[in-house]
Structure formats: structure tokens, C-alpha cells
Amino acid sequence: MEQYAIKGGNPLVGEVEIGGAKNAALPIIAASVMTDDTVYIDNIPDVRDTQVLLKAMENIGVFVKHENRHKVTINGANIHSLVVDDEYIRKIRASYYLIGALLGKYKHAEVALPGGCDIGCRAIDQHIKGFRALGTEVYIEHGLIKTRAKRLVGSHIYMDIVSVGATINVMMAAVLAEGRTIIENAAKEPHVVDLANFLNSMGAEIKGAGTDVIRIRGVQKLHGSDYTIIPDQIEAGTFMFAAAVTKGDIVVKNVIPKHLESISAKLTEIGCELKEADDCIRVVSSKPLVHTHVKTLPYPGFPTDMQPQITVALALSRGTSIVTESIFENRFKYVDELIKMGANIKVEGGDTAIIDGVPKYSGATLAAPDLRAGAALVLAALAAEGLSVVEDIHYIARGYEDFHLKLQNLGAQIEVVNSERELQRFKLKVG
């Protein structure tokens, strides 16, 4: 099994180019089958989740051509099956975006229940509520969500909780429903806005994405588009925290600073210096880090997908910090791994981490429990004294393209190793 071997202690210095946003790419790729015309999508991150989704779409008859590593041509005119179920698709959360897309276009879709990172119960009741409000029959059988409608009819839907996935799924179906739909208490994440912009570029009529009320006027059909996905807010944030914890100096390039405001604000609070330009942010960490408190919230609050990364930094910051996770119920599993490195963290009630900062981490063998926690453990290993091994790095490959190569470019001593022999070789090399 592949692992990262890491020798920590180097400040990371240099520039890193941020790729397209995974969580925007997934719904945009799914939505591209909603027209029979050809769609061109650029800036798709080459990560496992997007690869799996594209494969699953090919399996139901979607034409997919990779123009280059980040650009695909998609044509959904010859879909031969509305049942999406294979061993891969069950592993990714975003498979359920095919429900909204296919239901909107064909009024029928059956898709395997979503998997995804194990970060707590990941209910889909709000998706189902939204589909039903549009006139869809929905039931769950043999591990599939089955949806069918005679007609989709616009509706006024109040989401009981703010959900990125439910907002996106209902928005996709509503675009091709008859009449108007209003989604209240909608998610406001940049990827929700990016999907709305993409759908509008295909002829949809969506207003208000980015606010908590989205208004959609249904149209009869959508047409082709040529679209470029926004940069990945979480990949950018992860590299910004890499600078913080390694006492480094990193310019993250090709970002939208507005999307990173909550992350930038916390980095400034803990003692980093930030300089923003139009499409890049420089993070310099030259002073000792200091404690703060943070609570994860829907956008524009501090993202749950950055919670492990900030915890890694706060565990190295002077004083006591409190991190409260308000989105998912099981997102502190990586804390046991940080404790192996010398961190002083207590998790109370499953949603609160009380952190007493320590001056340093020491290297250890760590298991990545999920995507973002996996990336955060890599940051901890880069900050630590000595050698670490991060196992289960397939999680990290779900959402970070060339993670170790980008880190190497910043001066990190990190390699993928496949055997004890390769690990020994790495140890000899780094001394």
C-alpha cells in the first residue's frame, strides 16, 4: 500500500498553483449530461473523485473525452441507462448529483446511495424533501435511491438545515421543472454559485445563488457550454496552513481571495502575515503562533473542510484554543494521531476540541482517516521533528492533485513509498 514518507522540519517556501475546485467540478460534471449538446469543461482537478464520476458516467453511455489533464468534452445525448450503480460510484459522495441531473432531464434516475468520507452521519433527507416537493416519487431499495416523476413542477422549498448537497441537487432538478422554484435557507458556498453560473451558461434561469434564497425559473431544455471551474478554496487553504505550521513563506497562486476570507482571518489572528493580490495570497509565518477559537459554519463561516488543518496549527500555538465542529459529528478522528506526535488535545462531546499548544511535534506513523484529516496529518508531519509515515493516502488522492509533488516544489521532504525497502531508502536519503 502506498504511504507518504516525510522528514519534517523544513520551512516550506515558494509558490504553488492551485487547481480547480473538486466540490464545484463534481456537480458541474454531473450537470453536463443535462443537455444533448456537447459541453466543454476546463480546470477539472485530476483527483480520484472526479475520475470515478466521469467513469460512472461513461458506464451509462455518456461520451467523455479527455482533451488534456484538466479539460474534458462531455456529451450526454446517448445515455442508455438511468441506473447508476458500480463498485466505484458507491464510494463517492458526489454520485448523488447524478440524481438531480438525470431526474431533471429524464424525470427518472436510480443511483447507488452515496459513500464519501466517514465524517459522521450524512443524511439525505433534505435532498429527498426537495425532490418530493418538485413532484417526484422517491424511495430507497436495494441500496439505490430511486426517483421518478411524471412531471417536475416548481415549488417553494424551505431547507431545514443548510446543505451544500441538497441545495445543488434540488437546484439541478428544478432547472428543468415547469414553473418557478424557490429554495430558502440555501447553501451559499462558492461551489454552489459556480454550479449556478454553469447551469445559467447552459440556458438555465437561476438567480440568487450565493445568498440564502435561490430563485429558479424552469426552462424546457439546456444547451451546450464551454466553462472553466473556479479555483479550489480548500486546496488553497491547506497550503496556506502549510506555511503557518512549517514557519514558511508560500504564495498560493490562482485563487479567489474573497473565497478565502475566513481562512485568511484566522491565519492573521494566530500570527501569520498575509499579503493579498488579485489572484494570489502570500502567507508568511515568522513569529510564534498564538491561540484562537474557531467554530466551523456554512459559508461564509470557517469551513469544516479546513477544521483538521487549523487544529494542527493551533496544537502548535501558544495558549489554549477551542475548535468547535458544528457541521459533521465525527470529524475529530485524526486527533488520536496528533496525540502520537505529542499534541495536547482533548475532544469533548464529539464536537469540541480543547487544545493546549505544545512547542513541537515529533514524527510518528499516522493513519489518514479521511481526505482533509489526511492532508492535515501531512502538514503535521512536515512541521514535526524527524520522520513520519502517513498511511492510507488514497483518501488524500480523492481531493488533492499531485499533493506531494506540490509540497516537494516548496522544499518539503516527502515521497510516496510502496514498501519497507523504499522507506529505508528514503530514510538514508534524508539522513
- Complex with ligand EPZ: residue 127 or 266, whichever CB lies closer: 127
Phi, psi of 417 (to 5 degrees): -120, 150
Choice among 117, 121, 272, 280 that is catalytic:
117
Instruction: Check binding of 164 to ligand EPZ (CB under 6 A).
Output: yes
Residue 121, classified by CB atoms within 10 Å of its CB into exposed (0-12), middle (13-18) or buried (19+), is: exposed
State the binding string over 381-410 for ligand EPZ (x if CB under 6 A, else -): ------------------x-----------
Cross-strand pairs, 65: 73
Nine-digit cell string for 194: 459556480
Instruction: Check binding of 304 to ligand EPZ (CB under 6 A).
Output: yes
The DSSP call for residue 163 is: -
One of 110, 249, 305, 401 touching ligand EPZ (CB under 6 A): 305
d(CA 5, CA 230): 31
CB of 335 to ligand EPZ, least distance (A): 17
Instruction: Check binding of 369 to ligand EPZ (CB under 6 A).
Output: no
Instruction: Check binding of 140 to ligand EPZ (CB under 6 A).
Output: no
- Complex with ligand EPZ: residue 4 or 302, whichever CB lies closer: 302
Instruction: Check binding of 165 to ligand EPZ (CB under 6 A).
Output: yes
d(CA 182, CA 206): 10
CB of 370 to ligand EPZ, least distance (A): 7
One of 70, 146, 291, 372 touching ligand EPZ (CB under 6 A): 372
CB of 426 to ligand EPZ, least distance (A): 28
Cross-strand pairs, 184: 158, 213
One of 26, 33, 199, 312 touching ligand EPZ (CB under 6 A): 26
One of 170, 260, 371, 378 touching ligand EPZ (CB under 6 A): 371
User: Which residue reads 516550506 in cell numbers?
Assistant: 12
d(CA 404, CA 285): 21
DSSP-based three-state secondary structure for 182 = strand
Q: Are strands 83-84 and 108-112 parallel, antiparallel or unpaired?
A: parallel
> CA 157, 163, 169 angle in degrees (round to 5)?
65
Nine-digit cell string for 89: 460510484
Half-sphere exposure in the Cβ direction for 424 (13 Å, CA): 3
- Complex with ligand EPZ: residue 76 or 399, whichever CB lies closer: 399
- Complex with ligand EPZ: residue 7 or 372, whichever CB lies closer: 372
Has 117 been annotated as catalytic?
A: yes
End-to-end CA separation in angstroms for the chain: 24
One of 1, 68, 87, 121 touching ligand EPZ (CB under 6 A): 121
Residues that are catalytic: 117
> Rule CB under 6 A: which residues touch ligand EPZ?
23, 26, 93-94, 117, 121-127, 161, 163-166, 187, 304-305, 327-328, 371-372, 399
